[in-house]
Amino acid sequence: MALFPRSSKQVGNDAESLACDYLQRQGMSLLTRNFHCKCGELDLVMQDKNSIVFVEVRYRSNPHYGSPADSVTSAKQDKLIKTALYYLQQHPGLARRASRFDVIAISSRNAETKIEWIKNAFLAG
C-alpha cells in the first residue's frame, strides 16, 4: 500500500502503462503515447499488423459509476476522432493505412484487476 495518496494523473499513467503492456503482449506495437493537440489527447497510438489503432484507456475502481467503457461518451468519441484526424495529418505516411478506435477498460476491485479490450469500440463518421 502506498504511503501517500496517488494523484489521478499517476493513476492514469499507471493504467496507460498496463494497457500498453497488455496490447504489446497481444502483438501490437506502440507508435505514440499521450499525443496532445488543441483538439484533445490520444492515450495510445498502436500498430496492429497494417492497421493504426487509436486506443482510449479508461480506469475505474468504483463500479457505482458504471463500467470504464461507459465513460467513453459520444462527445468523447467526437473529440478522439478529431484528434486522430489531426494525428494522421501530422503523420501522412500512416494516413493511407486502415485505422480503428479501441477502448481498454480497466477496473480493479479487492486487489483484482480486470482488463477488457473492446476492438472497434466506435466508428469515425
- Confirm if 45 and 55 have CB atoms less than 8 A apart: yes
| pLDDT for the residue 125 | 64
Note the pLDDT of residue 96: 87
**Positions in the chain whose pLDDT score sits under 50:** 1-4
Question: Which residue(s) pair with 100 in the sheet?
Answer: 53
Domain ranges of the chain: 8-122
Helices (H), 32-105: 74-90
Tell me, what DSSP letter sits at residue 70? G
Per-residue pLDDT at 19 = 96
CB 68 within 8 A of CB 57: no
Q: How far apart are CA 84 and CA 82, in angstroms?
A: 5
33-47 tens-digit pLDDT? 999 999 999 999 999
Q: Rounded to whole angstroms, how far apart are CA atoms 2 and 54?
A: 32
87 and 42 Cβ atoms separated by less than 8 Å: yes
Which CATH number does the domain 8-122 belong to among 1.10.3720.10, 2.60.120.10, 3.90.1640.10, 3.40.1350.10?
A: 3.40.1350.10
